[in-house]
Structures are given as structure tokens and as C-alpha cells.
Amino acid sequence: MNPNLEWYRVFYWIARTGSLTRAAERLHITQPAVSHSLKQLEQSLGGPLFVRDARGVALTAEGEMLMRHVEEAFRSLEQGEKQVGDMNGLSAGEIRIGAGDTLCRHFLLEHLERFRQLYPAVAIRVMNRTTPETATLLKEGLIDLGLISLPHADSALEVRPGPLLNDCLVAGEAYRHLADQSLSLQELEQYPLLLLESGSTRRYLENYAAAHGVLLQPELELGSLDLLAQFARSGFGLTFQIREYITEELASGTLIELPLIPPLPPRHIGIATRKNAPLSAACKAFLKLLNNKDGS
């Protein structure tokens, strides 16, 4: 029979107290149960661990050697229990988050600042990746939570809807005259169109256009919304942006919103975790903060 932890716990407290009776009291079990566990351990190890003396019991040479290892093991267990308690109490631990450039800059950063204020002892790790790469990191268990662009279908992930985003068509000063009229999707082919290279947002826009019988044909493809905004400001053409992320540019007039018929429907940020995987205390706290900016 292989020794189990309870046998060692009984052995430890007999050695600490020098008495089977006091060990039983400390462990809140009967003395016969203590005697039985000790007998099982001694039989498993092949020899006695205690000898009786006038004061109770004393360790044999083999028992003294074993006690050194058991004490070290129990100290390690106590330290582990404390660290787990600290993590569950958010006075230790870490949270690992994946997100793309745009979501990092315009959404994640403000929440991380708040999280750090609330839980300064929790380490924050951010991996800047595209939505497909973030999903892969999640499935491999390399991050705890991912912010992704929707739509994104993946049966291995649980995706919670985050805040609403409103896409809009914009351009720079060179196309200001178009702001006085409403453009139809069909009319977009008359102007140079700038789109993201690929990914969930690109698919969302293409599906939206296809549902109205239009194929979006970009003149220029770029890797981020920030780059698209810069090229649009410089007069390279029309592009799609998230209205909530360009409020300053719209207010200053460096980007101009162009009315589009039909308008794009709003969509959500996706907050993704691995399906059926337990969430750490830090991850649960961050999800709560995302749903409640006060974190209360």
C-alpha cells in the first residue's frame, strides 16, 4: 500500500507532541485512528518510527530522518496554501490578456489602469495579437482572457458580449463635400476605398455589404484602424472606423463622417475565455470590472 498524506499528518503531530493522545486531540480524531494510521505508515515503510519512553513516544533514527523531510514538505504545503489564499484574495497572482492594437489602445488600457489601482499586487501581462492569434493563445491556455473583434465563431471559446461599437464611414478634408449627402453602398465603388487586410472586422463589413448585394473592393488594404485613419486624413480615400474611437478627430474635423445608407448596425466587443476552463480570481475580478467600471 502506498503511504498517503493523512498518515504523514498523523506521524507529524505524534512527533511534534510526543504523544498519540495529544496528536489525536490536535487532529480531532480518536486515538485508535491515530494508532491505526501510524501502524499503516510503519508497515508501508518497513519498520518502526517511534519507541515508547517514560514521557510518551520518541522518534527512532529512521523516524528522525523522515521527520526532517515531512517538516519540509508541510512547510512547503503551508506556503502553497498561503500563496493560493493570496491569489484568491487578489494580493498576489497575475492576469494574462490578449488583444489587438485598437482594442488595447481604445478599450483595454483604461480598464487595466483601474484594475491596477484596485489590485496593485496582481501582475498584468498583455499579449498584443490579432483576433485569430488571441483565440489560439486562449485555446492553448497561454492567456486567461481575450478581447476579440466580432463576429468570431469558435466552439472552444465562451464569448461574452462587451460594449457596443458603432462603425461609420469617414474620409478626410478632400471628401468633405460628400458629408452633405447620403451615400448608398452601391455608390462606394465610385470612390477609393480603404479596408483592413483581413480578420473579423473585415468579414463583418463584407457580410454587411453582401447582405445588400454589394461587393466591397478596396483600393488599399492596411493592417490597423489607426493606419486607415491616417491614410484617410491624408486624402487617400474613404474608410470605415469605430465612431467611439475617433471622437477627437470627428470633433476637430480631421476626419469627417459620411452618411451611409443603410447605416451599419452596431456590434459588440467580444470578451472571450476558454470554454469549461476554471477562471482565476484575478480573471473573475477583471471580468467584473469590465461589466462595472466602478469594480464594485
Cell of 132: 485569430
Is pLDDT above 80 for 57?
Answer: yes
Q: Which of 88, 104, 138 is the last residue of a domain?
A: 88
- 62 HSE (CA, 13 A, CB side): 10
Q: Give the ranges where 47-168 is alpha helix by DSSP (H).
A: 61-88, 101-103, 109-118, 131-139
In angstroms, how far is the first alpha carbon of the chain from the final one? 51
Does 131 share its domain with 198? no
- 254 assigned to some structural domain: yes
Does 110 share its domain with 156? yes
- Domain harbouring 236, CATH code: 3.40.190.10
Q: Which of 88, 113, 134 is the last residue of a domain?
A: 88
- Domain harbouring 51, CATH code: 1.10.10.10
Average pLDDT over residues 90-112: 90
Asked if 196 and 167 count as a contact pair (C-beta separation under 8 A), the reply is no
Confidence band of 3 (pLDDT split at 50, 70, 90): low
Is pLDDT above 60 for 22?
Answer: yes
Cell of 275: 470554454
| Domain membership of residue 198 as a residue range | 167-265
The C-alpha angle with vertex 36 and arms to 35 and 40, in degrees rounded to 5, equals 120
Question: Model confidence over 202-214: pLDDT tens digits?
Answer: 889 999 999 999 9
- 284 assigned to some structural domain: yes
Of 47-51, 82-86, 199-203, 278-282, minimum mean pLDDT range: 82-86
What's the pLDDT at 292?
A: 74
Confidence band of 85 (pLDDT split at 50, 70, 90): confident
- 296 assigned to some structural domain: no
Question: What 8-state DSSP symbol labels residue 197?
Answer: S
Does 70 share its domain with 185? no
- 78 assigned to some structural domain: yes
Does 281 share its domain with 226? no
Does 273 share its domain with 160? yes
Does 147 share its domain with 281? yes
Average pLDDT over residues 137-154: 90
Domain count, the chain: 3
The C-alpha angle with vertex 161 and arms to 156 and 165, in degrees rounded to 5, equals 130
Average pLDDT over residues 168-174: 96
Does 185 share its domain with 146? no
Separation of alpha carbons 269 and 275, rounded Å: 18
Q: Which of 63, 88, 113 is the last residue of a domain?
A: 88
Separation of alpha carbons 182 and 52, rounded Å: 97
Asked if 268 and 163 count as a contact pair (C-beta separation under 8 A), the reply is yes
Question: Model confidence over 236-264: pLDDT tens digits?
Answer: 999 999 999 999 999 999 999 999 999 99
What's the pLDDT at 282?
A: 92
Does 242 share its domain with 282? no
- 32 assigned to some structural domain: yes
pTM of the model: 0.68
Is pLDDT above 70 for 120?
Answer: yes
Separation of alpha carbons 92 and 239, rounded Å: 44
Does 107 share its domain with 78? no
What's the pLDDT at 64?
A: 94
Q: How many CB atoms lie within 10 A of CB 83?
A: 13
- 142 assigned to some structural domain: yes
DSSP code string of 135-189: HHHHHTTS-SEEEEES----TTEEEEEEEEE-EEEEE-GGGGGGGGSPEEGGGGG
Express as a percent the part of the chain with pLDDT over 90.
73
Does 260 share its domain with 171? yes
Express as a percent the part of the chain with pLDDT over 70.
98
- 79 assigned to some structural domain: yes
- 274 assigned to some structural domain: yes
Is pLDDT above 70 for 13?
Answer: yes
Does 248 share its domain with 273? no
Torsion angle, alpha carbons of 148, 152, 157, 163, to 10 = 50
What's the pLDDT at 260?
A: 94
Is pLDDT above 90 for 74?
Answer: no
Does 235 share its domain with 274? no
Q: How many CB atoms lie within 10 A of CB 227?
A: 16
Confidence band of 2 (pLDDT split at 50, 70, 90): low
